[in-house]
Amino acid sequence: MWGVSLNVPSGEFPLSQFEAVGLLERIVIVPQSIRGNTGTVQLLGRPGIPTIDVMTDDIDKARPFAEELSATLNLKLQSVAVPGQTIRRYTV
């Protein structure tokens, strides 16, 4: 039997070692199609502690989950940029 090795942390990490709940938003635009933004909710680790993905879903589901997790764990909520991109907010 064969499988794919996932790049995920193993072990136990105390909640005190995480500095924030992160919300990473990916904006997907496909020509002549409905756009579908996805969000990944993460626990952002302090130095030496990995960042752990908690869930990925439609941004309209991920955002409230991130807000609730942030409040429950008493951690700040932070926007996270997709690697190689910058977060920009525009009001139209």
Domain interval for residue 27: 15-73
Q: Is residue 58 part of a domain?
A: yes
- pTM above threshold 0.85: no
Return the pLDDT at 82: 78
Residue 9 backbone dihedrals phi, psi, to 5 degrees: -75, 150
Per-residue pLDDT of the chain (92 residues; tens, 9 = 90+): 566 565 666 778 888 999 999 999 887 766 666 567 889 999 999 998 889 999 999 989 999 999 999 999 999 999 998 776 666 666 66
Return the pLDDT at 26: 82
CA distance 35 to 12: 37
Q: Is residue 57 part of a domain?
A: yes
Total domains in the chain come to 1
User: Max Cα separation, the chain?
Assistant: 53
Q: Is residue 91 part of a domain?
A: no
